[in-house]
Each structure stands twice: as structure tokens, then as C-alpha cells.
Structure 1
């Protein structure tokens, strides 16, 4: 793909620190935009089915999922229900009116602690792999985004998985850092080092195909739009549109895996809250969902996922590409200035 050459050229013109800054800015903007959507969704969910002590749910800031465990019912948590909402727009208005505008970003700071580093690792790995694979796979350039996207996601998910498990333990059992260290040492001693990656298989089952399809369709769409408009370099709108479309396609195709992963995360969190180890297999959860709700059960939440994923992907990739382009131009101008 021609745009891979553009990406590679840009990557050579900027430093790793600048690439990290570009991905950080994309992560922050994405979180600021998507978090209110999920806060409202959780409030509506809590209104329909109130959370009880020990109940888990998945919260997403547009970059990654985070497991939240309710420790006091609805009364003292950021996702408490305050009045009856008639719908999404009504919930937005009432939350802002009764609790202030900043309540729409409740729970954002702690989730960014892991989301931003994970995003930096993911996007930096993808760019580096693209540059490396481009020379190794000259006869199959169309497969570069597929492979680079899949490998980058495996790497970032594997790095963040133990941290997510630690976070779940701290939330569910209210452990001090000393108690947490003892708890982790005990788990490793009894179940081995791999116990720190519990639930990773469900994450990879969804995220690796999503990442591979996303990057493939993104690069393809970007190239097509550049050619159609007679451009050598993609504009902000081209990257934004390509990101939204590719994110939507990948979200639709991986929806069954997303449903299973969500159920497995919730089960894992509730087991941690009860200090239990009996965790269902990924395919066991899929079979249970189909048995209880039919084949349509593994396609639940189609519209909410699409509404959240499409803009998140569009904002993240367009901001990231804009940041790389900005630093590339900045470095070029700096070199020209030094020559003169």
C-alpha cells in the first residue's frame, strides 16, 4: 500500500518521543469525547437494573475497557442513579443540571493511568512494525497492516493485562499495597506466573482480529481517498473518515467476541471480589450465552458499540496522524533553519 510508505516516511522523520506525544494527545482527546457517552450509558443501565454490592460492569473511556466493582450499591459511587431518566438526551441534561458538567467525566483520571500507556505502546509498536515488515514483505504489502496490527495488539494487551488484574484485586478487596504484594505472591506461588494473565485469552480473541481488520481497512480506505482526490498525503478529514469507517467494520465483525469478553470480564471481577478461582472458559461462556438467549445473544449491544467505537477510532487515528505530521514538519523546518 502506498500509504504505508507515507507512514514509514513520517515515522523516520520524527523521534520515538514525538510519536509517543502524538499518541498521547490522541488518547486524551478520545477519552474526553467518549467518556461522557459511557457515563450516561452506565447511569441508564443502573436505573434499569440497580447495582448491588459486588456487582461488576465494564466501563470504557474510548481506548480500552475497565472493570468496575460496586462496593456500596448506587448511593456512594460515581455511577449512582440520581432521578429517573427518560432517555440518553434527558440523562445528559439532568446529570449536567444536577451534578455539574464535570460529572460527565467521572472515573476518567484513574482509567487514563493505564489507557494512555497502553495506547502509546500499541501505536508506537504498529508504526515500528510497519516500517520493519515493509522491507521484509515487499511482495505482499497488503498484508503488512494485518500482521502489524495483530502483533501490536498482542503486545500491548499482554503488557497491560497483569496491571488490569492488579487493579481489579485492589478495587474488589480494598487491599493496601503491602497486602496486594502478598496476594500476588500467593497467587503466583499456587497457580504459577501465568495466573497474572487470567482473562487475557478473551481479550485477545476480540482485540487481535479487531486490530488486524481495523488497520487493513484503514490503510486501504486512506489510500483510496487519497487517490480519488489526487493527493499524495492524506488530509485530516481523510484520516478521520477512514478511521470511522474501518472502526465500524471491525466492530461489527468482532461483535460476538466483544460480548463474550465483556461477560468474561464481569465474571472475573466478581470472582475476584469473592476471592474465588473458578472461571468459565471463553467458549463455555459463548455456549451459555447462545443457550440462554439464542444466536442473537452474541450480537447484543450492536448499536451502542458502533456509536462508541466509530467516533473513538476516528478521533484517535486522525489526531495521531496529525500529531506525527506536525512533528515531521517541525523537524524539517528546524533542519532547514540550521542549514541557513
Structure 2
């Protein structure tokens, strides 16, 4: 027996796979009625292979197949996602922090203020007055504790969302809308343990500039004043805000991301930013009432201002004293803050996964590979089956494989072959 080349072995395995394609509901066995047709040969031709072009700084493969995913590998995957999510969260928070400060100032503005009138007419007026009275650095009051806390907050949110999506997806990686909502809701609930202490400190630092007391408020002094249990004041309102937000945001992001991908299913960085921004608009706007209540509960009431004992008490008093419109204070600022923040965060998160790719055998973000496909030569584009790469050129190779392995591969008949390669143009006689 002459030497068998690697190409011949590869072709043999490819053809064997074709003969085993009997459907997922049947056992894998050779279908006697299955015939190798022209397109089967075309599909395994070298020029038909899809090339993945992605520039990566690092690429590792933790497992050789998904079946090797152990508890340790899954834990390492969560740590990997958590680390990238921390970096992405910090970048997103820093980019949108000035808008967040304005949003908080607007939401804390209430009737019965000790100054006798509202301090800010709108978000733009608030921005101008902060710059005038507190300087540019006033827009970044509370940024340091925000960055210290936002890293684990956004990281746990992204990690839990990916983890739950993996668990509720089928073997092909497909997930239902209900599964996406469940994953998003779980992500929102998990982040509250980090979000609430972070935000109550941040909010008190953000509104400190409104009080002309001359005393500088620091994050450490706020933590000491509140204590452990005080850091979770307003946690119920935080749950009411973060669970619906994530349940809306992540499914919307996944579908918008798919819609703005190119013809090959690839998402350019700009399309990722657009998807993250657009998904944040309805998510941020619809949960504003819960965010207003949370802000009122977490801010220290000053002389003459109404105090609240809980979520329901705050909702009743705000409605009675200020009307239903008060629940939507700061909506524009919240949308303008959350949308770009999550857009930048998700963009950074996915870019980091592309640059530092580690294959743990689980799911990974879609649209991460540039796919270029050389259009194969098909029989519909030529009436000459003897062209280079055509069926006639493949006959010697198939005969050699049959001789060496003692096989008899099924072939299509000449009738089918003639029918298959005859183009509509030649059939019409033109």
C-alpha cells in the first residue's frame, strides 16, 4: 500500500461526516440513501474554509473540548470575567461620573428646601452652577470611592449575567428571551451587595457641595458615621431599581448588538458602543422612580426637609407633596449617564475579551471574530464539470482513497449530475 497523505485522510473524515448527517434526533449511523453530491465536494474544498481574523494580544485554551469543563475551570472562567469586568466598570464609571453627580443633585432637590426655592432649574443649570461655585473638580466629588466600589459592582454584574446565560442556554448556545431576562435579573440582584454601600457614600459626597459649611466631607468619615448597617440604608429601593434595570438592559443589548452586526455577524467597536448606548435608554428611564426614592432615603435630610422611614413612606410623601412628576426628576440626566456608562463598560468588556482571549470551553461574546469567506465555485455558475476543482478532478482522489482503504463510497448518478450542473441559462437554449 502506498503512503497515505494527510490530505487524503482529512478528505476521508470529511466524507464520513457527510454520510453520518442523518439528523440530531437519530442515532449516528450511515444513511444508505445518502449520496455524495457536488456541493458536498465543494463544501470540503480548501478554498471554502472560513478564516477568522482577530488581532489578539494573548490567546490561551484552557480545555481541548467543552466536555472537559470541570468546577475548577468554571471557577477560573468566572475569575477571568470578574477581572475584565472590574477594569471595564472602572472605565465606564470614570467616563460618565460628572453626569451622575448632576443626576443626584437634581433628584435630591425637593420642595420645602431650606433655601426657600429650588437651587437648579434644570440639569444644564445645575452643571453651570457646579462649575461656577465648586470648580471643574466639583464634578468629580466622590469619584475615588466610586471607582473603588464600581469595579466589584460591575464585575459581579457582568459575571453573573454571563454565568446564568451559560446555564440556561442549550447545547448550541441558544437562549430564550425569558432566559435572558432571568440572567439580567439575577445580575441586578447580585450587585446590590456592592452597589448600596457604594452609592450611599457617593451620594452624600455629591450633595456635600450644596452645603456652605466650610467643612470638607470625606468618604471615610461618612462610612464611620453610617456604620455597617447604615451602609445598606435604602437597599430595598436599590433592589427595585437594579433588578428591573438589568432585566431590561442585557436582553436589549444582546438583540441590538445582533441587529447592528455586519453581514458576517461581526460587531465593530462602534456598533458595540451603539448597542450599549441604545439598550441603556429604556432601562435607565423606566426605573427612575425607584432611583429617586433610593436617593431620598440615602441622603441626610437638612433643616426643613421631609424625612422618610422606608420605600412606601417615601413614595407616599413624595406623591403628596410634590406630585407624580417628582418621581421622574433627573430622568434625562440618568439616561445621559447610564447609557454612555454601560455603553463604554460593555465595549471595554468585550474588547478586553477579544484582546486577552481565554477559551474555557463555555460561551463567549458573539460577533467577536472577523469572518471572511472566499466564495466557492459552484456548479450553478459554470456548466463545465471538468473545471479545476470540479467533480472530474476529484475522481482520482476518491478512487485512491477507496483503493487504499478498501471502501466503496456512494456517488450520485449521471442523471442527477447532469441535472445539477445544467444552469437555467443553458436549459433555456440560449
Per the TM alignment, residue 44 of structure 1 is displaced from its structure 2 partner at its CA by: 9.1
Report the equivalent of 1:22.
84
Per the TM alignment, residue 330 of structure 1 is displaced from its structure 2 partner at its CA by: 9.8
Q: Equivalents in 2 of 1:311, 1:119: separation in Å? A: 14
Identify the range of structure 1 (138-147 vs 209-218) with the bigger mean alpha-carbon deviation: 138-147
Q: Using a 3 Å threshold, how does the CA distance of structure 1 residues 326 and 261 change in structure 2: closer, same or farther?
A: same
Candidates 124, 135, 144, aligned match of 1:109: 144
Q: Equivalents in 2 of 1:293, 1:48: separation in Å? A: 8
- Correspondence 1:213-228 to 2 at 5 A: 213-226=248-261
Per the TM alignment, residue 18 of structure 1 is displaced from its structure 2 partner at its CA by: 3.6
Greater helix fraction, Structure 1 or Structure 2: 1
Candidates 96, 102, 108, aligned match of 1:34: 96
Report the equivalent of 2:339.
310
Per the TM alignment, residue 207 of structure 1 is displaced from its structure 2 partner at its CA by: 0.9
Q: Using a 3 Å threshold, how does the CA distance of structure 1 residues 329 and 261 change in structure 2: closer, same or farther?
A: same
Report the equivalent of 1:249.
282
- Correspondence 1:1-340 to 2 at 5 A: 15-39=77-101, 87=125, 90=128, 104-135=139-170, 141-161=176-196, 174=221, 197-226=232-261, 229-266=262-299, 269-270=300-301, 280-328=309-357
CA contact (8 A) 2:82 2:159 kept: yes
Per the TM alignment, residue 286 of structure 1 is displaced from its structure 2 partner at its CA by: 1.2
CA contact (8 A) 1:18 1:327 kept: no
CA contact (8 A) 1:40 1:91 kept: no
Q: Equivalents in 2 of 1:29, 1:163: separation in Å? A: 16
Structure 2: gaps of 5 or more residues = 1-58, 63-75, 205-216, 362-430
For 2:191, what is the secondary structure of its paired residue? helix
Q: Equivalents in 1 of 2:109, 2:200: separation in Å? A: 28
Per the TM alignment, residue 221 of structure 1 is displaced from its structure 2 partner at its CA by: 0.8
Per the TM alignment, residue 107 of structure 1 is displaced from its structure 2 partner at its CA by: 2.8
Per the TM alignment, residue 31 of structure 1 is displaced from its structure 2 partner at its CA by: 2.3
Q: Using a 3 Å threshold, how does the CA distance of structure 1 residues 140 and 21 change in structure 2: closer, same or farther?
A: closer
Q: Equivalents in 2 of 1:297, 1:20: separation in Å? A: 37
Structure possessing the higher radius of gyration over alpha carbons = 2
TM-score (norm 2): 0.51
CA contact (8 A) 1:41 1:88 kept: no
For 2:160, what is the secondary structure of its paired residue? helix
CA contact (8 A) 1:24 1:116 kept: yes
Q: Equivalents in 1 of 2:283, 2:175: separation in Å? A: 22
Q: Equivalents in 1 of 2:293, 2:105: separation in Å? A: 22
Q: Using a 3 Å threshold, how does the CA distance of structure 1 residues 163 and 262 change in structure 2: closer, same or farther?
A: closer
Q: Using a 3 Å threshold, how does the CA distance of structure 1 residues 244 and 102 change in structure 2: closer, same or farther?
A: same
Q: How many residues align?
A: 267
Q: Using a 3 Å threshold, how does the CA distance of structure 1 residues 124 and 265 change in structure 2: closer, same or farther?
A: same
Q: Using a 3 Å threshold, how does the CA distance of structure 1 residues 288 and 92 change in structure 2: closer, same or farther?
A: closer
CA deviation vs aligned residue, 1:46-83 (integer Å, no higher than 9, x gap): 9999x99xxxxxxxxxxxxxxxxxxxxxxxxxxxx9xx
Q: Equivalents in 2 of 1:287, 1:175: separation in Å? A: 28
Q: Using a 3 Å threshold, how does the CA distance of structure 1 residues 26 and 201 change in structure 2: closer, same or farther?
A: same
Per the TM alignment, residue 317 of structure 1 is displaced from its structure 2 partner at its CA by: 1.0
CA deviation vs aligned residue, 1:103-132 (integer Å, no higher than 9, x gap): 653432222221211111111111111111
Per the TM alignment, residue 318 of structure 1 is displaced from its structure 2 partner at its CA by: 1.0
